[in-house]
Amino acid sequence: MLIGSRYNLTEQIGAGGMGTVYRALDVHSGQTVAVKMLKSEALARDPHILQRFMREAEALRQLDHPNIVAVLETIEDRGQHYIAMEYVSGGSLRQLLDSEGHLPLKRALEITLDLADALTRAHRLQIVHRDIKPANVLIAEDGTPRLTDFGVAHIGTAERVTQTGVTIGTPDYMSPEALSGEPIDVRTDLWALGVLLFEMLAGERPFDGSTPAHVIVQVMTQTTPDLEALRPDVPVELIDLIYRMLVKDPAERISSVRLVGAEIEALLHGTPVETTNVLRVKAGTTPYQGRNDTPNGAANPDGATQFVERRFATPTPSGSSVPHNLPAQTTPFVGRIDELTELQRMLLDSRVRLVTIVAAGGMGKTRLGQETAASLLDHFPNGVYFVPLAPIKAADNIVPAIAEAIDFKFRESGRTQKQQLLDYLRSRRTLLVLDNFEHLLSGAPLVSEMLEAAPDMQVLVTTRERLNLTGETLFYLEGMDFPDWEPPEDALEYSAIKLFLLSARRIRPDFELTIEDLPHVTRISRLVLGMPLGVLLAASWVEMLSLREIAEEISSSLDFLESDLRDLPERHRSIRAVFEYSWSLLNEAERDTYMKLSMFRGGFTRQAAQAVTGASLRTLTALANKSLLRRDADTGRYEVHELLRQYAEEALERTGQLDAACAAHSRYYIDFMRQRGPELKGRRQLDALNEIEIDFENVRAALLCAVEDLALDALHEIMEPLLWFCLYRNRYEELHEMHAKLLELVSNRQDAASQQLLGRLLIRLHDPKPGDRAQIERGLALLEPTADQTELGMAYRQLAFTYVHADELQEGMKYLQMSLSLAEAVGDPFYIGRLLDDIGFVYGLMNQPERRKEFAQRSYDIRQQIGDRLGVARALINLGGEAYVAGRFDEARDHLEHARAVYLEMGDRQGVAYSDSNLGGLALYMADLDRAQGFAEDTLANIDRQRNPSATGAALAVLGAVAAVNEEYERGLEIFEEVMSVAGIDFDMRCIAHFGLSGAHAGLGDFDKAAYHLREMIQIGLKMMMPQLVLTALPMAPMVLLARGMTEKAVEVLGAQVTHPSLMSGWIDSLPLLARTEAQLRAEVAPEVFNAAFARGQQADVMALARQLVSDFE
């Protein structure tokens, strides 16, 4: 039969409830195709069936993916409806499984990877398949799968064509939520894919039955069968993934098919399935938005070696490209799934312009608002902005608060600030989150004005009281949360604190919280992690103990949390009673595992849990199912409630296994750090840093255990990677704490191993100063007998900087060269690159710019080659500094912006701030004062001033220069005095400080002090033989000479400046004080005298003129 004048139907090859599939010949092309015909009887039974049939065609047309059956066209012929599709000749996966039982591991992984790729495309287009099963997976001639039958797919933008509550799909592969008639999303496909993968491996479905009703009961009530027993050859990582796909609660199921694909791909490539480097950062909440935008598989901008191409490589979290100011969250967003979904639904409806979350203080409205906003970033292309109103005291300040949040700068004009803001928002599709509005209700009309002025804008408000505006959609929130830092200013706004206060007043009616109590009540709520019963039991002690004592008792003993209140059920009169009931439900293996899990701090991976406890995946899953473990569905990491952990640790100690478990935990994380040591210096640097960051509390616990056990070999192994991690992530306090513990351990031990460890500890100082020289020399003496060239080289490097910081540059250079020779002898490119950069830096201090550039470039090349990204950034800073001093400003800017981008990519806030300080100085030299000020303010907002004095000084100097241009001399004096205090041995910084102080004193009329600072600056330039420093000082000299009556000499200096301009002449020319000085000289000196003196200055030798000025300024 010929249909559509093109397709000749030959034979039936399949049939389903909705249609019949025929093999057909395309008479135009001669190709074999498949044609699906809608059954007329199906259409008669269900008039909606045609819409579903056409939906399938539309879905296939949109998808256009190599692992999805391609649609050719839709046809209506003689009242019948058809879809012409690609013909797939290899049969279905159902047929393959029926003939082979189960599939080889590699084959199952390959099929699953292709299907995950196909579903990634579908889900991206908001298409949920809803009927994934072997019969709907066709096999092509080359063995690759094709996903078909999208007839029951849910398309996100399509109208519903099935009745609410009607189950669609095949029960054997349907998710629990789909069987229950609940709303479904992409996670229903993840369940079905998990069933499919289980069946490919086991040869049987995980939930089976003789009737559909029996199958449904199995799916809803039974646990997933033990796949380890069915297929012992299957990697536990894959079994673990399948279990996460088959979690019955969709909120706890792995959330993305891309994550599934990433793990399948890792298994196929034979690489470890590591989920710990997936930092749990919501889109738009990273501290910095910078990242490496290089696609997976492409070379990075610096020419680094290409990576293996992967379809599902998990990207480093980088946030959305949509502009926003949403704060980075310090904890995962827990619960509130229903509330979040409802708020998303409201705000995705463009007719809902204003949503107000109304709740009592502490119910979590702020956090919920932030999470809602973060989840909707991609729907508001002009930005999502969080406006904290709690600090605002009056409604008049709402407009400036919004402007600050959206980074809008008001202009001096005839329009009011409000009008400027409304005009800015007018054409923007923006979401504003106005947080804590309750005390500013008189300002509510502003919200209406904004919505009227900006028709595409929407507003989400959190408040304790509704705004009472037309069009306001109210969302009432209930629940409990608690503060997770100590002590928050708004502690009383948290529901856990409110519950504590209420419970305490039941015991003592006159109980009141004071400011002094806040740290302790915060600690109490955190110790019980917001557990309502824990809060209530803690509050029952307020009649006998202070809040500080209550917190201390909770931290030391679970048994403290008990009460004799008669209105509490007996099983709830103590935390121990609650836990003991849970404990009684565990079998012996589960108890043993759970006790050993108490060794972990801050969460752990499945691999770590199994290595330390010896538990099977089945046991870990059982503990999670009993709510004793919480598992993150995406990362796979486990967490134990702190009070439960304490209970388990006590039980472990009673069994006598505590020391052995501690040692096992320590060994695992010592090895974890040992493996990442080389990675911290190479291409996996960022991944290694992120992995250590997530498990840092476990690493600290492992170190302390090794200290207690005097495990010197382990301490030797952990020291180097621990040092680099702490330095790279600016964890100086933790580094100092651990360093001190190790020193205490070995300082009085005389055995060789202890003495060697002591030597290594003594030389490992961050940024050694002259006062540290004796300690480093002692460490060097202890290390010399070991002949360890790497350690000796580090000692020489540290010793070098004690001399450099004392301005003994030649001696410092000698030790750096000795260190470099040892690194080259060992063949360690990481330390070679570092030392080359150090040497280049010191050459810069020695005023040898060519040598500085040579060594910095060599450092860059080596670090780039080995993948040391943070080292690359440091070398770029050095190269930028050399170009900056030499006046090659464009080159300097390129280097510094490149360094900043690398620091952003690596998540190094201090590195970004350091780059900003240099860019600010460069912008100042280029007379771009607004940009310079912006960089300087950003630097000071993010820099650790104590740890980065040079960057701090540079940023302050920029602000001082801006103050000078604005003639704010008192402020400039204060700023430049601070610059001088942080300058240290940096002669360039000292000269900048002298220059700024000279101008500030002159502006305030104190020309003697101005002369002193100019003389000091010129003398440094003469001593260092640096004409540029001298030239920089010259512009300030005429005003001092004029004040001393030396007018002709002042004019000579003006002439010298014309012939020999300073590198900083761009912004110096903007100084009003200097312009007035020249104007006064022209007015007071006769023209012929002025011209003659000016000409003499143009011919003068600058260095000779400088020496004269030193004498003149005595």
User: In whole angstroms, what is the distance from residue 683 CA to residue 689 CA?
Assistant: 11
Is 225 in a helix, a strand, or coil? coil
Q: Are 579 and 647 in contact (CB under 8 A)?
A: yes
Catalytic residue among 114, 131, 828, 916: 131
User: In whole angstroms, what is the distance from residue 488 CA to residue 626 CA?
Assistant: 33
Q: Are 42 and 18 in contact (CB under 8 A)?
A: yes
Is 443 in a helix, a strand, or coil? helix
Identify residue 932 by its one-letter amino acid code. A
- Smallest CA-to-CA distance from 35 within 11, 58, 17 is with 11
User: In whole angstroms, what is the distance from residue 1056 CA to residue 1103 CA?
Assistant: 11
Sign of torsion over alpha carbons 1095, 1101, 1103, 1108: negative
**Burial (CB count <10 Å: 0-12, 13-18, 19+), residue 311:** middle
User: In whole angstroms, what is the distance from residue 210 CA to residue 564 CA?
Assistant: 54
**Burial (CB count <10 Å: 0-12, 13-18, 19+), residue 806:** middle
User: In whole angstroms, what is the distance from residue 766 CA to residue 129 CA?
Assistant: 57
User: In whole angstroms, what is the distance from residue 318 CA to residue 22 CA?
Assistant: 48
- What is the DSSP track for 506-553? HH-TT----GGGHHHHHHHHHHTTT-HHHHHHHHTTTTTS-HHHHHHH
Q: Which pairs from 794-801 meet CB under 8 Å and 24+ separation?
A: 794/763, 794/764, 794/819, 794/831, 795/759, 795/763, 796/822, 797/835, 797/838, 798/763, 798/764, 798/765, 798/768, 798/772, 799/768, 799/773, 800/838, 800/842, 801/767, 801/768, 801/838
Is 85 in a helix, a strand, or coil? strand
CA angle 487, 490, 492 (to 5 degrees): 95
Q: Tell me which residue has tokens 């121990």.
A: 576
- DSSP H or E segment with residue 155: strand 154-155
- What is the DSSP track for 294-349? PPTTSPPTT-PPPPPP-TTPPPPP---SS-B-PPPPSS---S-HHHHHHHHHHHHS
Q: Count of alpha carbons within 13 Å of 840, Cβ hemisphere only?
A: 26
Q: Collect all residues with Cβ–Cβ distance below 8 Å to 636 and sequence separation of at least 6.
A: 240, 244, 275, 605, 606
- Smallest CA-to-CA distance from 73 within 36, 41, 48, 121 is with 36
Identify residue 1033 by its one-letter amino acid code. A
Q: Count of alpha carbons within 13 Å of 731, Cβ hemisphere only?
A: 18
User: In whole angstroms, what is the distance from residue 982 CA to residue 976 CA?
Assistant: 10
Q: Are 57 and 83 in contact (CB under 8 A)?
A: yes
What is the DSSP-derived secondary structure letter of residue 493? G
908 part of the active site:
no
Is 797 in a helix, a strand, or coil? helix
Q: Tell me which residue has tokens 């070696």.
A: 305
Bridge partner residues of 459 (DSSP): 354, 432
Q: Collect all residues with Cβ–Cβ distance below 8 Å to 581 and sequence separation of at least 6.
A: 571
User: In whole angstroms, what is the distance from residue 400 CA to residue 331 CA?
Assistant: 30
Q: Which residues are catalytic?
A: 131
